[in-house]
Structure 1
């Protein structure tokens, strides 16, 4: 009787020693601005194997350049945004829905191939990135794997979060995309430059505005844009891009004529737009340009070079179109300049 009580007390004592509280996890998460707890060879067993009351979302990734894991590099900042978004709404890491469960985010990263963290060896990781979900309790070998699939960008994030919600029953998980200051500043600068140039050369711009070939190019480009599959992709929720077995991004579904990624329609629309502009410029634009520049000095070299450049642009664009078709239909026997390497 005494021995059984002693064993129970020892077991309870060991459990208490090996437990980790939410306050301790919260303190560790505050050590990094992205609110992610970094796993290393010293703490990974303690954090993953200690008794706890919270869910742990763990990313095992490899951002080392020599690994060439494109998905790792692409998903890593998204994982950081997931963590910061969670703590933005839940400063103490605790959900406001359901049973008010807590959730924390951890990561182990192979930054150098000669120094692989032990946690990778423990779980026998062969492919990265891998996302694990550990449940409250503290069993280091009890977890679920969150599959990232072949989606890219925001679609990958949405599916991962949906799976986390399903497994944890935590419904108040949101994702706040970071504000891109560089892109906004570049857009503002571009608008400023365009407005400045229009004001400075308004007489020339006004003259261009009434040129028929300019309106022809603009109209054809607008039609191509509208036929580029934007509405279809949004209605059908087509994947934006894919990932092959080596982690490289796929822009086209090889050998699939009836299926495509969202980015495929955009690339094809751009190619058709270039073809439309170049052909329209050759047939209508060159004669109009001759008339427009007939009183300008030194305009003859420009008029002579323009058709050659436009013909070259047409040839390159059509070569790109044929290269894409060969990716979709490998048995297609014809080709021009091989540009398929740009799309793979």
Structure 2
């Protein structure tokens, strides 16, 4: 606006002076006007950058997360700027069917809120999210064909093209994505912060109701429970279940938060993965069931078969149990070959 007024004023002055004076003074006035225009443009750019910089928090869609689109992406991310910009490029609309986008969206909000809890003044780190529905031109400029994408743009002293220097986060196959994503932010920005999870009132109420229900059950069924837990078979069964869980690797799945099932390159399900340091949930369940079947056969062979009335029944049951044990153990050895390809032993080569 100020620039327009100045130009109009110069035009009016030139219109009301003599041509002779105009010719004499033009060589003096032109450099002054040019310098003024350059200074005004530089001031406008600095003012615009400072305005955006100071008003970044007010653009948030939620606490600490700025809503990016095709109109403001280049202004906020392109530079020049003295701050890191943590950007999630996502596609949360139902028609895109991006399950990871919906899964990681709340984690991204949690990371932004947690960072601002430890850094209320931002310390030159800002968070933004660009959804495909509002940033299609930005996606084309970044040459993106899939979502989500989690990038961090470092500070820059110059205006960089869209999709310039950035650090890319590779999504691991874990459930708790905010932990590796938080480590990625700390590593790139050099800013330390803790993830502040919101208090789960639903879990508190659930725990209270569970404790109350168990307490009432112990009081009401005190005598029946006392007789039940005094039985030897109950403790034997409980111990056997726990042994099968630990031997099959259930605790490993809980600690490592492994996937339940994976797919190969042709999108076919894989039930067993190679290597001793890798495991998935479905193979744990299959191995546990196989061990349970073997335990049942061994216990039946030791306790049930000898108690049968006739010798023919004993022979028949014993033979059937031995066949099941042979097949089940052959299956275990075959799957062990997947974990250790150099293992030389096998029984029935049918798996």
Asked if TM exceeds 0.5, the reply is: yes
Other-structure match for 1:160: 181
Structure 2 Cα separation of the partners of residues 200 and 283 of structure 1:
39
Return the match for 2:279 from 254, 257, 261: 261
**5 Å matches for 1:11-160?**
11-19=41-49, 20-29=51-60, 32=62, 34-94=63-123, 102-110=124-132, 117-137=136-156, 139=160, 140-154=162-176, 156-160=177-181
Is 1:176–2:223 an aligned residue pair?
no
Contact 2:84/2:154 (8 A) holds in 1: yes
Distance 1:283 1:86, change over 3 A: farther
Contact 1:56/1:105 (8 A) holds in 2: yes
Contact 2:153/2:167 (8 A) holds in 1: no
Structure 1 residues 135-144 or 60-69, which shifts more?
A: 135-144
Q: What per-residue deviation string (whole Å, max 9, x for no partner) do you get for residues 236-277 of structure 1?
A: x8562387699x9x9967653655235456545764687589
Structure 1-normalised TM-score? 0.65
Deviation at 1:147, TM superposition (A): 2.1
Q: What per-residue deviation string (whole Å, max 9, x for no partner) do you get for residues 183-204 of structure 1?
A: 3433332332222222211111
Task: For CA contacts below 8 A with separation 6 or more, give which structure has more relative contact order.
Answer: 1
Is 1:208–2:228 an aligned residue pair?
yes
Deviation at 1:11, TM superposition (A): 4.9
Structure 1 Cα separation of the partners of residues 202 and 290 of structure 2:
30
Name stretches of at least 5 consecutive residues in structure 1 with no aligned partner. 95-101, 287-317, 336-344
Structure 1 Cα separation of the partners of residues 201 and 256 of structure 2:
28
Q: What per-residue deviation string (whole Å, max 9, x for no partner) do you get for residues 302-344 of structure 1?
A: xxxxxxxxxxxxxxxx9xx99x969x79xx9968xxxxxxxxx
Structure 2-normalised TM-score? 0.64
Structure 1 Cα separation of the partners of residues 127 and 288 of structure 2:
40
Q: What per-residue deviation string (whole Å, max 9, x for no partner) do you get for residues 129-159 of structure 1?
A: 10121222453443313222332222x4333
Other-structure match for 1:185: 205
Deviation at 1:80, TM superposition (A): 1.1
Distance 1:90 1:269, change over 3 A: farther
Structure 1 Cα separation of the partners of residues 97 and 135 of structure 2:
15
Structure possessing the higher radius of gyration over alpha carbons: 2
Distance 1:257 1:166, change over 3 A: closer
**5 Å matches for 1:196-275?**
196-229=216-249, 240-241=258-259, 256=274, 258=276, 260-261=278-279, 263=281, 267-268=285-286, 271=289
Contact 2:69/2:130 (8 A) holds in 1: yes
Distance 1:189 1:239, change over 3 A: closer
Matched pairs, number: 283
Calculate the aligned-residue CA RMSD, in Å: 4.4
Deviation at 1:16, TM superposition (A): 1.5
